[in-house]
Amino acid sequence: MKSGLEDTGQVSVTAETSMGEDAVSLATADPPDVILMDVQLAGPMNGVKAAVAIRREIARLPVVFYSIQDDERFYRDFLASGILTHYAYVRKSNYLLPHMVVPLLRDAIAGRSIVDPEIEQRVQEVRLKDEDSPLDLLEPNEREVVRLLAQGMTNEQIAYRLGFHDRRAVSRTNGQIYAAWGLANSAEDEKTARARASLIYNTGRMIVWDEIGTPRVRDARGEWVPLYE
């Protein structure tokens, strides 16, 4: 990529590194016009966090995030970054060649913002998933119970594992979980509520069941769509 960018005659690469911490040091010591930043780097600081640290020192320094990773961690970091302008976030597979990257660098310098549609969809999916996080609706002891429930343990086994004195405490906790997740109003039996709670826990997404029993989740547009299509 370095030689390919320079071969275009429009780019001069002043520095390169595979470490986020080094990227911060290099960019703040001798600020470039724009940074091409892989989101997955070798050190503990990923590309998004490195860009945030750099832009803290050099306001809105243009950066093009370049990624092949479909990892929710990076999308969460991007959402948390608050980056608004002078950036692009694209998939390597869609901008594979150096001459395809040059316009992204130029647009970032000009203050424009470009997000690959595939990445934008995934970012919104992660945002909605976090907003609808079912575990955020539970107290700590309820999270422990549903974790074991989702492993297929019986109330007796859960009570033993968590050191409850009375297995009925697990049943009462289950009731609170079902209520928090909208499963207590179901006309189905406790076995169904238990199975649905397990599915919600294991998918990490809030799920609702329609009148014919189809599980639905919110998509990137906020619409409830079938979980399985």
Given a cut of 70, whether residue 188 has pLDDT beyond it is: no
Which residues span the domain enclosing 143?
134-226
CATH number reported for the structural domain that contains residue 118 in this entry = 3.40.50.2300
- Stated pTM of the model: 0.69
Please tell me the least confidently modeled range out of 27-36, 39-48, 138-147, 209-218: 209-218
Q: What is the pLDDT of residues 43-66, one digit of tens each?
A: 899 999 999 999 999 999 999 999
Name the domain boundary from 131, 161, 182: 131
Query: Of 32-36, 73-77, 225-229, which one has max mean pLDDT?
Result: 32-36
Residue (of 95, 42, 85, 90) closest to 66 by Cα position: 90
Name the domain boundary from 100, 131, 162: 131
> Total domain count for the chain?
2
Edge-to-edge order in the sheet of strand 215-218? 208-209, 215-218, 224-226
Domain identity same for 138 and 61: no
Q: What is the pLDDT of residue 105?
A: 97
Domain identity same for 118 and 100: yes
Domain identity same for 151 and 213: yes
Q: What is the pLDDT of residues 4-15, one digit of tens each?
A: 999 999 999 999
The mean per-residue pLDDT over the stretch 73-96 comes to: 94
Residue 213 pLDDT class (50, 70, 90 cuts): confident
Dihedral sign from CA coordinates of 117, 121, 126, 127: positive
